[in-house]
Amino acid sequence: MKVLVINEPFVPDFCRSQRWAARSRARAQRHPDWLAYATAVLEKEGEDVELYDFPPKGWDKDRLRTLIKEKQPGIAVLDSTTPSIYSDIECAGIVKSASNCKVIMVGPHASAMPEETLKISGGKIDFIAAGEYDYTVRDLVKCLREGNERDIDRVAGIYYTKNGGIRHTPPRPLIENLDELPYPAYHFLDLEDYFDGGKLYPFLTMEGGRGCPFRCTFCLWPQAMHGHKFRLRSAQNIVNELKYWLARWPRLYKGEFFFEDDTFTASPLHAESICDEILKENLKITWSINARADLTKPSIFKKMKQAGCRTIWLGIESADQQILDNCKKGIEVRQVTDFINTAHGAGLTVHGCFVIGLPGETRETIAKTTKFALSSKLDTLQFSAAVPFPGTEYYDYCRTNGLLTAKKWSDWLFEGEQASVVAYPGLNREDVESSVNLALRKFYFRPLFLLKFLFKNRNYSDLYRKIRGGLNFISYLLFGKKRKK
């Protein structure tokens, strides 16, 4: 039985696999890593499976219909996000009408709102594999292929309709031993399709662990998908994968690997062990990570640099301590400055990640955060509007307190761009969106930054990355769609 795993089409440049599902301001495209893992698990079990990633190819729904008619799968696995869910359901309908196959939907929105998603699909979705779905999809595909529909109730972590009602099985336990997972099925992808102006080109997404022990109220993936239990791959397993992809795509020696773990340094000992293994194998590679400002030991920064780390993406969110406390960030503003200084002292660059519009935000706190960002010696940064996705504590807070302005799920996007859907007393969604754009202009249009950006290049690939990313970003700032009040 043919199985197709599909990151389906939506609006141009839409990226499902980033933390704020939208068309990013720099038009970045990330690899569909979770889908690629599920595909690899199916391959390991001997299933006839293929992975297709539509957004970076610019493929549309007509291409989806053509693919399904040609391949005639018995099962299709489709992804879901909140902004795209109506379109995702439409794609499920296209798949079923072109092949009459079974449709399994995965991803954060379907996981957070499984019963509603099944209801509004009107029969276009047969099953939802909720949460961490690698083994859920595996077990469900096996049941369907073998025709053992009586055993479906034994597959943990699914929702489906039966006899006019919605049924669900017990939640799927989180995967304890991540080393048992095969490497993601990136061999179905074209490495050159994926671009992010903040990363060297080409780049590849890596996963050193799953789950996050911290409790930030706005963070979607730990709450809807991978949980708060922090699970790690062994350093040797990670380095073996690095070597595997380098052998397959030698161009990665000039690009970089990006560890998309929620917090790569949540276990400093584990981070150090990965560095030690990279150094032991004498891998001459470049890589970057996500981190928190509570990492303080200078020796770890120095070891990461020695092992090839280039940039740390630092979750700062706000320069107002009360806002950080409101969203349970668990760091202090003073730690951010210390972190940046320590990282720079080790020769690392820091990309600051800020969020405007979290609970407690005012015009004054926005100005405070913007001033902090401009004076903090960050190498690069991003500002995003706070978006309460279903499945998060932040969403429940906004809904309970009547702060949501959205009337339907598609309101989570505006003309393809990320949309603010929250209005506080004295601070509406237009204020948040305009503040994001203003802060970005103030940072990136500084003459000194532009000079460094243009003339500090590693190689021709780095120059290409900067020019392409810069043009994408400037195009957004100058000509991006503006919301009408």
pLDDT digits (tens, 9 = 90+) for 304-341: 999 999 999 999 999 999 999 999 999 999 999 999 99
> How far, in Å, are 67, 94, 216, 234 from residue 261 at the CA level?
33, 34, 15, 14
* Residue 166 reports pLDDT greater than 60: yes
Segment holding 204, helix H or strand E: strand 203-206
Mean pLDDT over 215-221 rounds to 97
Q: What is the pLDDT of residues 401-450, one digit of tens each?
A: 999 999 999 999 987 678 889 999 999 999 999 999 999 989 988 888 87
- Per-residue pLDDT tens digits for 226-264: 999 999 999 999 999 999 999 999 999 999 999 999 999
Of 340, 183, 316, 324, the residue nearest 249 (C-alpha):
183
**DSSP 8-state class, residue 172:** P
**pLDDT averaged over the chain?**
93
pLDDT score at 419: 85
Q: What is the mean pLDDT of residues 357-368?
A: 98
Question: 483 versus 354: which is more confidently predicted?
Answer: 354
CA atoms within 13 A on the CB side of 403: 25
**Is the per-residue pLDDT at 484 higher than 50?**
no
pLDDT of 32-42, one tens digit each?
A: 999 999 999 99
Contact yes or no for 99/73 (Cβ under 8 A): yes
**Side chain identity, residue 181:** L
Beta bridge partners of 287: 257, 309
Q: Is 2-168 assigned to CATH 3.20.20.70?
A: no
Strand (E) or helix (H) holding 243: helix 235-248
Give me the amino acid identity at 294: D
CA distance 410 to 86: 7
- CA dihedral sign of residues 406, 407, 412, 413: negative
CA distances from 85 to 67, 101, 224, 261, 411 (A): 21, 20, 15, 25, 11
Spell out the domain ranges in the chain: 2-168, 198-479
According to the model, what pLDDT value does residue 330 have? 97
How would you list the strands of the sheet with 75-78, edge to edge?
Answer: 48-53, 2-7, 75-78, 102-105, 127-129, 158-162, 165-168
pLDDT, position 163: 87
Determine the average pLDDT of the residues in 82-98.
98
| pLDDT for 477 beyond 90 | no
> Which pLDDT score is estimated for 445?
86
Look up the CATH architecture of domain 198-479: Alpha-Beta Horseshoe (3.80)
The pLDDT of residue 479 = 56
Beta carbons of 145 and 74 less than 8 angstroms apart? yes
What is the per-residue pLDDT for 129?
A: 98
Of 413, 272, 258, nearest to 351 by C-alpha is: 258
